[in-house]
Amino acid sequence: MLKLGVNVDHVATLRQARYKGREDIGEPDPVSAALLCEKAGAQGITVHLREDRRHIQDRDVYALREKVQTRLNLEMANVPEVIQFVLKVKPDIVCIVPERHFEVTTEGGLDALGQEKNLAGTVERLLEAGIEVSLFISANPHQIEAAARLKSPYIELYTEDFVKAVGTPGEEKELQRLIAGAKLAHQLGLKVNAGHGINYANVQKIYRVPHLDELNIGHSIISRAMTTGIEEAVRQMLKLMESYSL
């Protein structure tokens, strides 16, 4: 079964717009939203603890670690301060992502090949602490091979390039890149997740990509929740995901 991890960062984004520095009284609460996602059937919760703390705060991660009953996935940059925090909190899985201070959202995959030496120690430390590791990378064979050398159990394929190509002549080319990437990762013993830009309109186009374990979806679900409520938004996405076959 294809699993759904719901990213609740944008719940915190809305809170921070009014309650930055007063998160203890602020709303909406990403932890409450996460619990409603689980109630609706989501198999995991994802948050990105950015260096600049623009949305999710340390206190949110501590509360999520205490209350999430499914699987807590913490996205993070490969920087010492965040690594130390992660080793203290111990989420179920960490997804190492690239991070640029002036980006609105993550703008591409991690350069696992170019940063292989720097990543090796981090991946080893996290695994030794009992935390699973995923690398957020593009469907580039060299990046996938680097992830395998790093002994990361998971990769998460960056899907934004495909999402942008949907409805254009480049759609099939980008889809084939994802298909080839997933097949190579599977051959190398990696588990395959995917995410970034996936929504209700394009999610079923992803289903031609084999060996997917989990989709991480945030903005689309949180946006729909504004009109349907978050539980119904999660249920609608899960319904669309029922037809996926490996």
Contact by Cβ (8 Å): 221, 233: yes
38 is catalytic: no
Any idea which residue has 């990769």 for tokens?
A: 155
Structure tokens at 128: 């030794």
Partner residues linked to 74 by β-bridges:
47, 94
Q: Which amino acid is at 80?
A: P
196 is catalytic: yes
Catalytic residue among 38, 48, 174, 214: 48
The number of beta carbons lying within 10 Å of the beta carbon of residue 53 is: 14
232 is catalytic: no
Catalytic residue among 75, 99, 156, 214: 75
Question: Which residue, among 102, 165, 120, has the nearest Cα to 139 in the 3D structure?
Answer: 165
For β-strands 154-158 and 132-137, DSSP reports them as parallel
Question: Which residue, among 211, 228, 209, 212, has the nearest Cα to 220 in the 3D structure?
Answer: 228
Question: Which residue, among 174, 147, 173, 179, has the nearest Cα to 163 in the 3D structure?
Answer: 174
Number of H helices, E strands in the chain: 10, 8
Catalytic residue among 23, 55, 160, 196: 196
Q: What gap in Å lies between CA 202 and CA 108, rounded to an integer?
A: 19
Q: What gap in Å lies between CA 238 and CA 39, rounded to an integer?
A: 12
Structure tokens at 90: 């111990």
Catalytic residues: 48, 75, 196
